[in-house]
Amino acid sequence: MEVVLLGTGAADGWPNPFCRCASCVDAAATSEIRGQTAALVDDTLMLDCGPEIPGAAARFGRSLAGVRYVLVTHAHSDHLGPQMLLSRSWVHGLGELQLVGPAEALDTCRDWVGPDDPVTFVPVAAGDRIQLGDYDVRVLPARHRVFADGDAVLYDVTGADGARFLWATDTGMWPRPFFDSVAGARYDTVFLEETFGDHDDLSSGHLGLNGFRKMVESMRAVGAATDSTDLVAVHLGHHNPPVGELRRRLAEVGARPGRDGETVTVGGVASIDGTTRGHRTFVTGGARSGKSRYAEALLGDAAEVVYVAAGGRRADDPDWARRVELHRARRPASWTTLETTDVPGVLRSASSPILIECLGTWLTARLDHHEVWDSGDLTGVRGDVAELLDAWQSCEAPVVAVSNEAGSGVVPATASGRLFRDELGRLNAAIADTSDSVVLMVAGQALTIR
């Protein structure tokens, strides 16, 4: 299953737009912007839909036209914006929509549905189990409430391929009997709220870092979570420490913070258009734009990453060696570095996440190898590019590739410079066209293109 996180923030987002605390200032400065928490599964099933979410989907390049099921956890306004039903009714021919949730939450939606709109209300309570198309959904209790006990729930979702995840927002610390409902589940992914950081005393209906840790430990104790479970913290608020510190704190329990726009593959690699592969992210930008640090941060929560220095070794270039050493020093010790131009081979044999840096140096190495600077014959390089694109599209592990934006408005003075600019532009366009996510870095700021 492919789960797109349309938002990973608390009700007021992170940063809170009215706040100047250190956590909010840091989030803004590092472009760690989080909106209200919600997710889109396989473009078919939604988990919560606050008022910000339709707009977030559009910004992340996702259409909601194919959504057939919406699972609502409760009626708090950041999880349920019933006005989306009115917006949907203005588009004809979308087919039936099943709105699933506690009866109290569904009641707030009824006045937003036109008399002829194909919207079906499916009230559920903790302990229920329903089949929604290819999805087997179990309804679980939440230690949370709007007006009365039981008017908030969580969801346990299993796809047709057997992949299984837990959507656990919002909830406080479960009492011991609640864990019986997930014993032995062995979730592939758990999306678990972590709202208040070190201030979890602010609400018994939400988790802070201490409560998050206890929930994870209790899930592992009953076999709901295992060492291979992807633990993703969502519903993150500005009571948390700055995100760098938060990543470190969550990593202590084997978890990581979710990111808005992130695609999470539940249950291993995804199958899209009949091709088995992992998620592909392309990061491009000018010199010193922050693209390398951004790309490294994307995989910063992974225990093992293969870092591919795609230009190969440069024995006679001490400046290059210093640059490589600086990059190596700031990466986690658990990462493996490969200095090679055989990027297609690495992609085809990948079992761990991969970071390729960068396509510009790889292209330069291939131009050198085929002696294009002297001959002008691009046949061999074009063949290498075709092989790279094929491996990129079929890679079974998550992969991030970094490249340069060369010649943005400046015509190189030499023929070789113009040749390189043109070939890199073609390569970048081809990689971007076959990527799931595309990010442009400008002056240290990340602009999501796709």
Q: What angle do CA 187, 169, 447 make, to 5 degrees?
A: 95
User: CB count, 10 Å around CB of 28?
Assistant: 15
Nearest to residue 54, comparing CAs of 72, 67, 42?
67
CA dihedral 381, 387, 388, 392 (to 10 degrees): 160
Which residues make Cβ contacts (< 8 Å) with residue 138, sequence separation at least 6?
128, 129, 155, 156, 157, 181
Q: How do 153-158 and 164-168 pair as beta strands? A: antiparallel
Which residues make Cβ contacts (< 8 Å) with residue 365, sequence separation at least 6?
310, 311, 312, 341
Which candidate in 206, 238, 327, 369 is catalytic?
A: 327
Nearest to residue 234, comparing CAs of 56, 7, 3?
7
Which residues make Cβ contacts (< 8 Å) with residue 38, sequence separation at least 6?
5, 6, 7, 46, 47, 48, 49, 50, 53, 56, 79
Q: How far apart are CA 338 and CA 349, in angstroms?
A: 13
Q: Are 448 and 261 in contact (CB under 8 A)?
A: yes
Among this protein's residues, is 327 annotated catalytic? yes
User: CB count, 10 Å around CB of 248?
Assistant: 11
Say how many CA atoms lie within 13 Å of 60 toward its Cβ: 27
Task: Locate 390 and state its tokens.
Answer: 């094929």
Sign of CA dihedral 196, 197, 200, 205: positive
Task: Locate 290 and state its tokens.
Answer: 């922050």
User: CB count, 10 Å around CB of 298?
Assistant: 20
Q: Are 40 and 4 in contact (CB under 8 A)?
A: yes
Q: How far apart are CA 212 and CA 233, in angstroms?
A: 9
Which strands make up the sheet holding 280-285, listed edge to edge? 336-339, 306-309, 354-357, 399-404, 280-285, 437-442, 445-448
| Long-range Cβ contact pairs of 316-322 (< 8 A, separation 24 or more) | none
Instruction: Write the CA distances from 128 to 155, 178, 181, integer angstroms.
Output: 10, 14, 11
Residues assigned a catalytic role: 327
